[in-house]
């Protein structure tokens, strides 16, 4: 309303008034009952169209236009005011009806045509009653003509709204006209038919009576090809020609009582207008619905999630549509998917979880959860499934929409994390158990060595006891090797690449699996010269251990005489190191073989395998710049081949080699006697080493590192210090740092004994320190050789 009082608003009000005045003069020739009552009143449609396009606030333009028209026609002022009020009320009431019913000016919905019809009937009825009443009260209308005048007024204004509003709204829209040539042809056909029907033609009178029905195909043509816009134009053209023919008396509707022909003409135009607009709206709704369906189909086709729509049938849901992403997820063609039950695409799951999915599918219940998919190629995928039922008006589910989002990568990552946590936990536990076993095993070994030495001096009486002690020593040695292997495979931390002897990696892997292989197959070892490689001993050991376990699991239990597992090492023709693990088990099917290195792919029953073993082995070998190859035939066994690039340059000295050198030094030395300081927080360990060394050396022991440092600080002389690496309070690392600052020559003759580096600091220290490090349990001959080598001038200096 406020906009109407601006300069632009006032100009718009005057424009509305002028348009109403011009439209009123168009309907002027058709007055039949009174100078203010006409069966054709296009001004009503012009007024409503103006308010629809520019806003309700310009109703004053309708009032001014009506008042000006009636005053110019010479009507009394009270009649002019009454008619102006009725025309304004008609436009405002019709606009209110349209807005209340959600009218759209595009007229592309049937509800819009119904809304326009209601507005035309309701608004014009109010205008007719108020306008005719004002004429009667002013004495300008005969009481006997009240009903007829009201009906004519009502019909004329309603016809004006039905014809002029669509034409004004749609012709005002600035949209390019499609099929221009066809539109010109349609207009020409309408004009020719209108001239024939409403102005007389060449056809006979009998045929001419049926000519109005010929407009039906033209209206259908306009509605289906050009929509509401073409229908509005055709209706306007037919209306003009029809009324012109009725006025001139040449229309087929002109027969009968005077003035009645215009009423019949109104009915003809109204029927064609409403029918044409309804047909155009139905066509537009169908076209828009098809466009939305095509858009939805395109969205479903291009969306990354798999979508399947199932129809609920008495035998269960059946898929009626599935996009390409869904077909790719389940590994089937769209022809195979359509008509199938969605439950057949659900793979192996826990019984309870599968039952929940089956219930949701069969009863059309909402569901959201993770499921595995059954594919024809055997590949295992996981998806996040969301089921959404579609219900009819009665609330009965008719369809079921299932959306699948591929979460295989997430599932794999989660499983990797869980597996890594389990491995880390087992590794931590193994390292801790190994450390705890090492201490009692160390003094057990040394005590057995001392007992064997003493029994060897007791003559024939001690031979039987000496044999028992040797058996105990062999058992302790086996325990020592197992603990060492366990610590090797549980070792974590740095992935620094060091020279690795593959024979030293194969041996512990065989020791850890030999006892389970015995009931299934013969173990054949075929060792050839193999170059050392750069890598992680623990990671490569994990690969070999996993390959051996897989070979063992491929052979049935209880038939060891007919099967074998062969381990072969050597040098490949291209110079790479080669380790081969073969078996005579069940082999691998050709369809499964390409997928064995994929994460979580397994042919084992649920609960017996995760599908991660070979995938992790493959990744470890690739990280070492090598290859993991496989060849297999069903029923003939499998051969896994590890190829790794040889380490560049000469091989560096290893701890076993240093031990052998130390033992050689002991054999060549004259056994110089020295003063040895032993520091170990385990009293029995310190005591065992004292008993072993005392026959050859002077030994001082302590369980506290701080006490040892006090002795050195007080001036006591020691030739060699044997120190545990990890102790409470003062550690071996602390002692090394103290000696390096104060007694550097003694720091060079410091020998560490470690039960396993359990902390990152200890592992980093062992990686950088150049002193000799002996792993618990230390074999007696190795300890004696190391002490003798340290007593030789320059024998055990750092870097040796």
Cis peptide leading into residue 19 (ω within 30°) = no
Owner of token pair 């030999």? 514
746-751 long-range Cβ contacts below 8 angstroms, 24+ apart: 746/712, 746/718, 746/721, 747/771, 748/796, 748/797, 748/798, 749/719, 749/720, 749/721, 749/790, 749/796, 749/797, 750/720, 750/721, 750/723, 751/720, 751/721, 751/722, 751/723, 751/786, 751/787, 751/790, 751/796
Percent of the chain with pLDDT over 90: 20
Cα-Cα-Cα-Cα torsion 429, 431, 435, 437, nearest 10 degrees, comes to 60
- Segments of the chain assigned to CATH 3.30.450.20: 304-406
Q: How confident is the model over 761-775, as a mean pLDDT?
A: 84
Domain 304-406 bears CATH identifier 3.40.640.10? no
- Give the number of other CB atoms < 10 A from CB of residue 683: 12
| Helices 732-742/760-768 angle, 10° precision | 40
Cα separation, 692 vs 702, in Å, equals 16
* pLDDT exceeds 50 at position 653: no
373 or 269: which carries more pLDDT confidence?
Answer: 373
Q: How confident is the model over 193-211, as a mean pLDDT?
A: 62
- Per residue in 116-169, pLDDT (tens digit) is 999 999 999 999 899 888 888 877 777 777 888 888 888 888 888 988 888 888
- Identify each DSSP E strand in 725-770 by its residue range: 750-754
Percent of the chain with pLDDT over 70: 78
> What is this structure's pTM?
0.47
Reading the block at residue 135, the tokens are: 């004429």
Q: So what's the pLDDT on residue 472?
A: 67
Q: So what's the pLDDT on residue 2?
A: 57
* pLDDT exceeds 70 at position 363: yes
Reading the block at residue 104, the tokens are: 């759209």
Half-sphere exposure of 254 (CA within 13 A, CB side): 16
Cα separation, 435 vs 594, in Å, equals 42
Measured CA distances, 742 to 147, 715, 766 (Å): 129, 12, 21
Rg value, the chain, Cα: 51
Domain 513-650 bears CATH identifier 3.30.565.10? yes
- Per residue in 92-122, pLDDT (tens digit) is 999 999 999 999 888 888 899 999 999 999 9
Q: So what's the pLDDT on residue 95?
A: 94
Reported confidence tier of residue 656, pLDDT bands at 50, 70, 90: very low
Identify the weakest region by mean pLDDT among 4-8, 23-27, 37-41, 451-455.
Answer: 451-455
- Give the number of other CB atoms < 10 A from CB of residue 360: 20
244 or 370: which carries more pLDDT confidence?
Answer: 370
Q: Which of 240, 23, 43, 264 is nearest to 161 (CA)?
A: 43
Note whether 490 and 430 are within 8 A (CB). yes
Identify the weakest region by mean pLDDT among 190-199, 418-427, 726-735.
Answer: 418-427
User: Residue 399's beta-bridge partner residues?
Assistant: 311, 390
Note whether 49 and 164 are within 8 A (CB). yes
User: DSSP state, 41?
Assistant: -
Helix (H) or strand (E) holding 95: helix 77-100
* pLDDT exceeds 90 at position 580: yes
Measured CA distances, 50 to 68, 95, 96, 681 (Å): 17, 10, 14, 103
Longest dimension (CA), the chain: 158
Cα separation, 716 vs 705, in Å, equals 15
For domain 655-791, the CATH architecture is 3-Layer(aba) Sandwich (3.40)
Q: So what's the pLDDT on residue 593?
A: 82
Cα separation, 785 vs 384, in Å, equals 64
- Segments of the chain assigned to CATH 1.10.1760.20: 1-174
Cα separation, 84 vs 61, in Å, equals 10
- Per residue in 309-353, pLDDT (tens digit) is 999 998 889 999 888 888 888 888 888 889 898 888 888 777 778
307 or 409: which carries more pLDDT confidence?
Answer: 307
Domain 1-174 bears CATH identifier 1.10.1760.20? yes
Q: So what's the pLDDT on residue 607?
A: 44
Given strand 720-724, what is the order of strands in its sheet? 698-702, 675-679, 720-724, 750-754, 773-775
The dihedral region occupied by 775, where left means phi > 0, alpha psi between -120 and 50, and beta the remainder, is beta
Strands 397-406, 750-754: pairing is unpaired
Cα separation, 725 vs 683, in Å, equals 15
The dihedral region occupied by 530, where left means phi > 0, alpha psi between -120 and 50, and beta the remainder, is beta
Provide the 3-class DSSP secondary structure of residue 163. Answer: helix
* pLDDT exceeds 90 at position 655: no
C-alpha distance across the termini of the chain, in Å: 102
Q: So what's the pLDDT on residue 393?
A: 84
Q: So what's the pLDDT on residue 233?
A: 83
Cα separation, 381 vs 375, in Å, equals 8
Reading the block at residue 89, the tokens are: 């009320």
Provide the 3-class DSSP secondary structure of residue 402. Answer: strand
Q: So what's the pLDDT on residue 23?
A: 87
Owner of token pair 């389940």? 330
- Per residue in 716-733, pLDDT (tens digit) is 999 999 999 888 888 999
Reading the block at residue 41, the tokens are: 């009143």
Helix (H) or strand (E) holding 405: strand 397-406
Reading the block at residue 431, the tokens are: 């390292």
Q: So what's the pLDDT on residue 145?
A: 76
- Segments of the chain assigned to CATH 3.30.565.10: 513-650
708 or 73: which carries more pLDDT confidence?
Answer: 708
Reading the block at residue 76, the tokens are: 């009394």
Reported confidence tier of residue 627, pLDDT bands at 50, 70, 90: very high
């Amino acid at each position: 309303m406020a906009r109407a009082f601006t300069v632009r608003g006032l100009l718009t009000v005057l424009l509305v008034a002028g348009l109403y005045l011009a439209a009123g003069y168009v309907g002027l020739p058709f007055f039949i009952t009174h100078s203010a009552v006409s069966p054709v009143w296009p001004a009503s449609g012009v007024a409503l169209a103006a308010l629809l396009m520019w806003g309700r606030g310009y109703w004053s333009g309708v009032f001014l236009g009506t008042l000006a028209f009636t005053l110019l026609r010479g009507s009394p002022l009270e009649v002019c005011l009454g008619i102006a009020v009725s025309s304004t009320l008609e436009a405002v009431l019709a606009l209110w009806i349209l807005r209340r019913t959600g009218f759209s000016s595009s007229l592309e919905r049937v509800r819009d045509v119904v809304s326009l019809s209601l507005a035309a009937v309701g608004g014009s009825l109010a205008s007719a009653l108020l306008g005719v009443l004002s004429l009667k009260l002013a004495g300008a209308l005969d009481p006997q003509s009240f009903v007829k005048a009201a009906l004519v007024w009502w019909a004329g204004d309603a016809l004006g709204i039905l014809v002029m509003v669509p034409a004004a709204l749609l012709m005002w829209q600035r949209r390019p006209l499609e099929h221009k040539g066809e539109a010109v042809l349609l207009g020409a056909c309408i004009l020719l038919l209108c001239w024939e029907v409403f102005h007389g033609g060449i056809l006979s009178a009998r045929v001419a009576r049926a000519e109005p029905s010929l407009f039906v195909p033209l209206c259908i043509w306009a509605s289906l090809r050009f929509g509401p816009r073409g229908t509005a134009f055709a209706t306007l053209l037919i209306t003009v020609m029809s009324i012109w023919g009725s006025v001139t008396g040449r229309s087929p509707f002109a027969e009968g009582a005077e003035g009645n022909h215009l009423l019949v003409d109104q009915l003809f135009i109204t029927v064609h207008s409403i029918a044409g607009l309804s047909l155009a709206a139905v066509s537009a709704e169908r076209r828009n619905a098809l466009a939305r369906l095509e858009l939805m189909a395109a969205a479903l086709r291009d969306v990354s999630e798999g979508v399947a729509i199932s129809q609920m049938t008495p035998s269960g849901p059946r898929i009626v549509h599935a996009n390409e992403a869904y077909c790719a997820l389940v590994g089937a063609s769209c022809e195979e998917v359509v008509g199938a039950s969605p439950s057949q695409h659900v793979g192996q799951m826990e019984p309870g979880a599968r039952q929940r999915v089956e219930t949701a599918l069969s009863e059309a219940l909402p569901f959201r959860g993770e499921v595995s998919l059954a594919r024809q190629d055997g590949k295992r995928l996981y998806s996040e499934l969301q089921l959404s039922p579609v219900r009819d008006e009665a609330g009965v589910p008719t369809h079921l929409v299932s959306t699948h989002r591929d979460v295989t990568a997430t599932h794999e990552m989660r499983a990797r994390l869980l597996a890594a946590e389990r491995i880390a936990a087992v590794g931590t536990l193994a390292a801790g158990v190994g450390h705890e076993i090492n201490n009692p095993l160390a003094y057990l070994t040394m005590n057995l060595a001392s007992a064997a030495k003493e029994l060897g001096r007791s003559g024939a009486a001690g031979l039987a006891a000496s044999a028992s002690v040797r058996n105990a020593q062999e058992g302790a040695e086996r325990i020592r090797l197992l603990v060492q292997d366990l610590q090797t495979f549980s070792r974590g931390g740095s992935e620094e690449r060091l020279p690795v002897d593959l024979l030293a990696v194969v041996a512990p892997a065989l020791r850890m699996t030999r006892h389970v292989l015995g009931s299934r197959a013969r173990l054949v070892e075929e060792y050839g010269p193999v170059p050392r490689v750069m890598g992680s001993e623990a990671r490569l050991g994990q690969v070999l251990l996993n390959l051996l376990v897989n070979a063992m699991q491929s052979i049935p239990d209880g038939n060891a005489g007919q099967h074998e597992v062969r381990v072969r090492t050597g040098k490949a023709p291209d110079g790479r190191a080669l380790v081969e693990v073969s078996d005579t088990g069940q082999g691998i099917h050709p369809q499964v073989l390409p997928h064995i290195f994929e994460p979580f792919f397994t042919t084992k029953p649920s609960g017996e395998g995760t599908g991660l073993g070979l995938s992790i082995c493959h990744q470890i070998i690739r990280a070492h710049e090598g290859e993991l190859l496989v060849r297999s035939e069903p029923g003939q066994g499998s051969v896994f081949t590890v190829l790794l690039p040889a380490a560049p340059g000469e091989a560096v000295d290893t701890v076993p080699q240093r031990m052998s050198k130390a033992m050689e030094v002991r054999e060549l030395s004259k056994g110089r006697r020295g003063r040895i300081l032993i520091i170990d927080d385990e009293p029995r360990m310190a005591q065992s080493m004292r008993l072993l060394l005392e026959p050859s050396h002077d030994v001082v022991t302590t369980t506290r590192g701080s006490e040892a440092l006090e002795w050195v600080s007080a001036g006591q002389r020691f030739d060699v210090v044997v120190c545990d690496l990890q102790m409470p309070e003062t550690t071996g690392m602390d002692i090394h740092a103290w000696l390096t600052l104060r007694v550097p020559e003694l720091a060079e003759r410091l020998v560490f004994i470690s039960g396993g580096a359990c902390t990152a600091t200890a592992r980093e220290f062992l990686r950088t320190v150049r002193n000799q490090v002996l792993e618990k349990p230390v074999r007696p001959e190795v300890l004696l050789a190391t002490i003798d080598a340290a007593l030789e001038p320059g024998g055990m200096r750092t870097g040796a």
